[in-house]
Amino acid sequence: MTSFQTASFITSASNMDQCPEDTGVEVAFSGRSNAGKSSAINALTRQTRLARTSKTPGRTQLINFFGLRDGERIVDLPGYGYAKVPMSVKDHWQQHLSEYLRTRQSLVGMILLVDIRHPLKEFDETMITWSQDNDLPLHILLTKADKLKRGAQQNQLLGVRKGLPANASVQVFSATRKLGIEELEQVLRDWFRGNQDDGKKEGPWSSLGRV
């Protein structure tokens, strides 16, 4: 049994005040609406309904926190870029999301989920640049790989890998087929282990004036 299976829901936050205390270490799952964030978290934790998934894009509108052990958390961020959401709601998410990214001290890495059939749209590029500028490790999951044959999966993988900055990595993933889960676990373990609370809260952020 891995520590991921013991994940449990902590809380949902619609603003920063509602987030759990900013101690310990957390990794956020980001990506366009419908990219498969909630499904990936369920596959990782071997649970079927921990994170709520939906055929309706924009389902996850809150920041959802899941606890592992030893102050480790996984965060399901609201999906981005769903056109049918009213502008006022979009603005709220965007503000909320950017405030989370800017201020969260316990954030040690970002998983970016991208549909393998439509890699690196504008939002994805923004996240890659942002993580690079902030020296935050980023790992891309090319999701729904079951929709492509193996050769096509590899082509997409190589194409995305080619353009990535040094802080970023990429893998193929399918929640449905349980493909790539161990690779994802390894990345998360490395990030969590490399950032155990050692009293220093500066790290890569210090030069950026993050509050």
Ligand X SMILES: Nc1nc2c(ncn2[C@@H]2O[C@H](COP(=O)(O)OP(=O)(O)OP(=O)(O)O)[C@@H](O)[C@H]2O)c(=O)[nH]1
Q: Which of 26, 27, 30, 39 binds ligand X (CB under 6 A)?
A: 39
Nearer to ligand X, 24 or 111 (CB): 111
Q: Which of 4, 27, 30, 31 binds ligand X (CB under 6 A)?
A: 31
- C-alpha closest to that of 29 among 188, 204, 198, 206: 188
**Rounded distance, CA 145 to CA 148, Å?**
6
**Rounded distance, CA 128 to CA 110, Å?**
9
Q: Which stretch binds ligand X (CB under 6 A): 30-38, 133-141, 163-171, 182-190?
A: 30-38
Residues forming a β-bridge with 113: 31, 141
Question: Which 42-61 residues touch Mg ion, going by CB under 5 A?
Answer: 60
Question: Does residue 53 touch ligand X according to CB under 6 A?
Answer: yes
Closest chain position to ligand X (CB): 79
Given 3-state DSSP classes, what are the helix, strand and coil percentages for the chain, each rounded to the nearest 5? 40, 20, 40
Q: How far is the CB of 154 from ligand X (least distance, A)?
A: 17
Residues that bind ligand X (CB under 6 A): 31, 33-39, 53-55, 57-60, 79, 143-144, 146-147, 174-176
